[in-house]
Structure 1
Amino acid sequence: MEMRAFFNMDSQSNFLISNVEVDPSRSPFIQDRLKVYYESNSISDMKQLVQELKLNDTTYKVICLNKMDIDQTKKIHHPERRQIEREIGLVIDGEPDLDHPDVVFGLIHINGRWYFGKHTISESIWRHHLHKPNSYSTALSTRVARAVSNIAVPHTEGIRAIDPCCGIGTVVIEALSMGIDIVGRDIKPLVCKGARENIAYFGLNGTVTLGPISEVTEYYDVAIIDLPYNLYTHISREEQFDIIKQARRIAKQVVIITIETIDDLLEKADFKISDRCIAKKQLFKRQILLCE
């Protein structure tokens, strides 16, 4: 679902080719990105192409990314990968630096075709947010919260978001760390205080206000709502519908996380579900719904 939000398509394989450029560190599921400069049918043809690179004073290294099977292409074993890296690296007009290069180039073979370009490896930023000063056992995992933020706001420019039932701020933290313009809100004073402390703990700047969603007066491009639940926050179907109805009022698009099937309530509030998935944690399941 996150892949579809980013790229307007998905892949059943372990790679995807797209013209959409996404920072791989945004996603908890993307491992690497190769910004393709050249492609060819053979290493000898690729050597001719990379000679066009003029790096001047920029240092570089080349790595072959075929460390595992990629779609139908079997992995290339370590000695052969090193040989390929040397062959390509030696024809580049620049200064190689295997330890601290200014730029890392990647080379990958997929289904009979070679691709060469700038390589970026993903940093698992969401892992840094696992341990917060304040936490709830029922809160979304940081990994799911990051994916949900990306589903809601795949492209950040000019988009304003709100999490009006933000709890301790798990979604807000992930969104803020990716440069998403988002505010949080909750009806419980102590929860708001905890969310603010969590946001500050990670050096982020964000706003969390106190009050129900019914008192939100501004209009947003998207709202992210993890419908409240647990022994201490049990809400009725009527209360669920009121939150959904208020979400319809304050946002053009809404991503809803729910442990119950609420399709009828969404239809009643004049929402259409444009995409959906299930997030599982052992036997516990959450539905993630993109509504417009």
Structure 2
Amino acid sequence: MELTSEPSEFIYMYASHESETELCRMELNALLGQAKPLKGRGPMLRSSRLLDPDRSPYVSMRLDVLMQGDSVEEIARQASELELGDATFKVTYVKSGDPCSYEDQRMLERRVGSSIRGKAEMKHPDVQFGLLSAEGQWMLGWCRHPERAWRLHKDKPNNYSTGLSVTTARSLVNILVPEPAGVRAADPCCGMGNVLIEALSMGIDIRGWDINPLATRGARANLKHFGYPEVVTLGDMTQVTDRFDAAVLDMPYNLCSVLSTDQRLVMLQSLRRMAKRAVIVSTEEAAESIQQAGFAILDSARVWKGSFVRNVWLCG
């Protein structure tokens, strides 16, 4: 078996804080579809979809499955057929799988590693293999870890104290645009540009508006700080006539921007004219208004920080 062999499937290991559990589920459902949960020590999803682990703030590793068997001996036999060339390697027991003592983990790693024809390198291998045991099955594959360069977006020149966190903003973008190619997106109440930055970092074509000149100035400064183009316009979302494939609306919620039911409905109707697919965020219950605006609610979640709770709806 050559090192360039195609994986048969992918196992995604993930984790989230309890305050983001619902949002994590919603995001991974959007990105991976009907992935099958895999029982083990930690949460895992089994899928045929290839997803860059850097897309999701919750994915900690992707295992590209190369071989499967009923025992570690069967995996070792298959591993002996690997052709690594001059590449160095390391075998690591995946801790999200079945519980295993430290000593047994090292023993299993040595058993499989000794069968691979190549040079072992523990510190800086060219290839890292993951050995996984779950639900009575053994698997060996490539470990793909996220680099998480997006974490640098936490250090913005401008932000609101109640603004979306980088994790939440990134997750909302993934829910809105699971497949970025060819999609035109909008954020008509973009604030300081948190969603815009995450979307642009994924290569998504997106534009933003805000009615507040302080917000648009802050958003432009944030975008420039990270080297992204100026995609923000000062303006009222109800006056936007452009059409998009998808749009996110983080509805105003600070004490100076309390919306009446009628105002909220007008904003949602404007959003409906703007895009057929939308992610809507509100600190208030808005399901009825969302449906009155012509949307169908496809999924929903809550994310909170202390007593501050955001409701999230995916609509189409």
TM range (shorter): over 0.9
- 1:2 aligned partner: 27
Report which stretch shifted further, 252-261 or 168-177. 168-177
Q: Which moved more, 1:160-169 or 1:183-192?
A: 183-192
Change (3 A) 1:124 1:290: same
User: Matched residues in 2 for 1:152 and 1:120: separation?
Assistant: 24
The 8 Å contact of residues 27 and 175 in structure 2, kept in 1 or not, is answered as yes
> What is the RMSD of the two structures over their aligned residues, measured on CA atoms?
1.7
Q: What is the CA–CA distance in structure 1 between the aligned matches of 2:296 and 2:121, rounded to whole Å? A: 53
Paired residue secondary structure (1:143)? helix
Read off the aligned partner of 1:133 and give its amino acid letter: P
Where does residue 26 of structure 1 map in the other structure? 55
| Distance of aligned partners of 1:204 and 1:103 in 2 relative to their CA distance in 1, 3 Å threshold | farther
Match of 1:268 in 2: 292
Deviation at 1:166, TM superposition (A): 0.5
Contact 1:182 1:206 in 2 (8 A): no
Supply the distance in 2 between the matched residues of 1:4 and 1:269 (Cα, whole angstroms): 25
1:228 counterpart = 2:240: no
Q: Deviations over 1:264-284 (max 9, x none)?
A: 212221111010011111111
- Percent of pairs with identical residues: 40
Partner of 2:9: none
Answer with 251-260 or 184-193: which moved more.
184-193
Tell me which of 236, 242, 251 is aligned to 2:275.
Answer: 251
Alignment of 1:175-214 (within 5 A): 175-214=199-238
Amino acid at match of 1:65: V
Deviation at 1:261, TM superposition (A): 1.3
Q: Does 1:42 align with 2:67?
A: no
Deviation at 1:227, TM superposition (A): 0.4
Q: Is the 8 A contact 1:24 1:121 kept in 2?
A: yes
1:52 Cα deviation from its structure 2 partner:
2.2
**Gaps spanning 5+ residues in structure 2: where?**
1-25
The equivalent of 2:10 in structure 1 is: none
Shift of 1:35: 0.7
Matches within 5 A, 1:28-177: 28-66=57-95, 70=97, 73=98, 75-177=99-201
Question: What TM-score results when the alignment is normalised by the length of structure 1?
Answer: 0.92
> TM-score normalised to the size of structure 2?
0.86
* 3-state SS of 1:54 partner: coil
Superposition deviation, residue 170 in structure 1: 1.0
Distance 2:67 2:53 in 1: 20
Choose 18-27 or 204-213, whichever is displaced more: 204-213
94-103 vs 266-275, which moves further: 94-103
What is the aligned length?
Answer: 287
Amino acid at match of 1:291: C
Deviation at 1:206, TM superposition (A): 4.9
Is residue 2:45 matched to residue 1:16? yes
The aligned amino acid for 1:255 is: V
Gaps of 5+ in 1: none
